[in-house]
Every structure is written in structure tokens, then in C-alpha cells.
Amino acid sequence: LSPSSYNKAMMVMNQSYWDSIHADVETHLREAIHVRPPLSVYEPMHHLALETPQNTAPALCAAACELVGGHRDQAMAAAAALHLMHAATYTHGHLPLTDRSKPMITHHAYGPNIELLIGDAIIPFGFELLSMSDDSARDISDRVLRVIIEIARVTGSQGIISGQYHEIQYDESKNNHDLELIKRISEKKEGELHECGAKCGAILGGGNEDEVEKLRKFGFYVGMVKGMLHRGDKSDEILMREVEELKSLALDQLTGFNATKVEAFANLVGS
């Protein structure tokens, strides 16, 4: 194999790795939120949860669990809960409120009232999935509780909510080149969500504290890269230099892990 076809083959293989994880998370979600009575609740919940675009944080959770030697199934409830938290934020982020100047997306399958209530219902549903994933036969209550704390923090007041708060300010200001604000939003939204995903996966997979810490950092840098590229102007050299630094910090965290598995992780930052 020539180096370029080897690289191409690796990229395809890494892509199919993430595709298979995304597919497993989606299957888990479909089963967890299968439509059941009361239909007035589960039908929109199923719809809103599955319509919300997938985010890499849940996939990273399952992959981190495998990287430390666990099986991805051990992290599926946490990955699904992370997607649900993201879906609740996404739904409420697009809610037409009387003090928001315009609806941010044009098509809503349900009215604001339903979207508000279902968003509210999705959050505890995520915690319910998580706590039910406790397996007394395997004595993992401590790991599950630790993960609940992590996910509660990142979903709540110290995490996404304050990112969303800044994002609304950002969307309403016309200054879309404020790098500091872009960084603060990316930190609170994508950064901490990916940090949490990777950390929770490592905890559930039975990683040691060093592994948990490295994956936590890796997740944070990956999320920052995603958030900054999503919000920032790619022709801005200062921004792009910072992105490159973050990518390199992310890759640094991967030393010491199983070399073949690490490939897919490196792929996540486009390296």
C-alpha cells in the first residue's frame, strides 16, 4: 500500500468506526424512547429527540469507554443521556419567546407549549435512563452516581445554560468577530459537553484516574475546536492559529493509549 492509499484506507476505517458508534447511540435512543402512552408526551419526545442533529459528545463517550478497555454498551445510557440533554437545549434554544425577536428556525412540528414541556420532560428522562443503567450484579453504583453528577453539572447552571445565555447575547449583537466571546461560548457549549462525554465514558469503562483525566482534557480540546470552527470566521488567522494549538493539545493527551484505537480519536480533530 502506498502511504496515500494507506491514509485513505485509515480515514475510511476511522469514519466507519464513528459511524458505527453513532448508529449504536441512535438505536439505543430509539429503543429507550419508543412511542408509548401517553402519546401526547412520547410522540413529540421521540420526534424532538431524534430530529435533533447528532453531536459528537455522545459518540465520544462510547468511544472513550472502549479506549480504556470497556465495552461501548457500558456507556450507552450515558451517551443517550448526553444526546437527550443536547436535544432539550436545542429544542428550548429554538423556542419562540415573546422577548426573542424572531424564531430561529422556521419549521416547528409542534407548538411552543409542547416544545417547552417536552424539553422539560427530556431532561429528567435522561437522568432516569442513567440511574436505571446501574447494574447491582456488577456493583457500579459509584460510577453511575459520578456520571450523574458530571452530566448534571454540564447540563445545568455551570455548563450549557450559561453558554446558551452568552450565545443569545452573541446572536443579538452584530459583532460576529468577538474572538473572546466565541471562545467563551465554545468552552461552555461544545467544550464542556465533549469533556463530559469523554470523561464519563472513561469512568464507565473502568479507566484509572490518569486515563479519565487525559480523556477529559482531550474531550475539552476537541469540543473547543468544533465550537470555534462552527462559530468563527475561518479566514481569521488568529482564530485558526488557536485552533491549531488546541488540536495539538488534544493529540498530546492520546499518548500512552492503545495505538491502533487512538487513530480514530486523532481523526476527530482532523489529524
Instruction: Find where cell 409542534 sits.
Output: 110
Selected binder of its own copies within 42, 94, 240, 262 (CB under 8 A): 42
Shortest reach from residue 183's CB to its own copies, in Å: 16
Shortest reach from residue 26's CB to its own copies, in Å: 19
Nearer to its own copies, 95 or 181 (CB): 95
Nearer to its own copies, 84 or 215 (CB): 84
Shortest reach from residue 163's CB to its own copies, in Å: 10
Rounded to whole angstroms, the Cα distance separating 148 from 170 reads 30
Nearer to its own copies, 3 or 37 (CB): 37
Rounded to whole angstroms, the Cα distance separating 189 from 201 reads 18
Beta-carbon count within 10 A of 173 CB: 10
Selected binder of its own copies within 30, 131, 179, 261 (CB under 8 A): 131
Rounded to whole angstroms, the Cα distance separating 262 from 267 reads 9
Q: Rule CB under 8 A: which of 22-41 touch its own copies?
A: 38, 40-41
Contact between 69 and 205 under an 8 Å Cβ cutoff? The reply is yes
Nearer to its own copies, 99 or 237 (CB): 99
Angle between helices 39-51 and 76-93 (to 10 degrees): 90
Rounded to whole angstroms, the Cα distance separating 190 from 100 reads 23
Shortest reach from residue 59's CB to its own copies, in Å: 21
Angle between helices 192-204 and 209-231 (to 10 degrees): 150
Selected binder of its own copies within 97, 177, 234, 271 (CB under 8 A): 97
Rounded to whole angstroms, the Cα distance separating 162 from 166 reads 6
Nearest CA among 100, 90, 68 for reference residue 199: 68
Nearer to its own copies, 140 or 215 (CB): 140
Selected binder of its own copies within 60, 152, 182, 222 (CB under 8 A): 152
Selected binder of its own copies within 117, 249, 251, 262 (CB under 8 A): 117
- Our finding on whether 164 is near its own copies (CB under 8 A) is yes
Nearer to its own copies, 189 or 247 (CB): 189
Contact between 50 and 31 under an 8 Å Cβ cutoff? The reply is no
Rounded to whole angstroms, the Cα distance separating 246 from 86 reads 23
Selected binder of its own copies within 136, 175, 235, 260 (CB under 8 A): 136
Nearer to its own copies, 69 or 96 (CB): 96
Nearer to its own copies, 69 or 112 (CB): 112
Q: Residues near 271 by Cβ (< 8 Å), separated by ≥ 6?
A: 247, 251
- Our finding on whether 52 is near its own copies (CB under 8 A) is no
Rounded to whole angstroms, the Cα distance separating 52 from 91 reads 8
Binding site for its own copies (CB under 8 A): 38, 40-42, 45, 85, 88-89, 92, 95-100, 111-114, 116-125, 127-128, 131-132, 134, 136, 141-142, 144-145, 148-149, 151-153, 155-158, 161-162, 164-165, 168
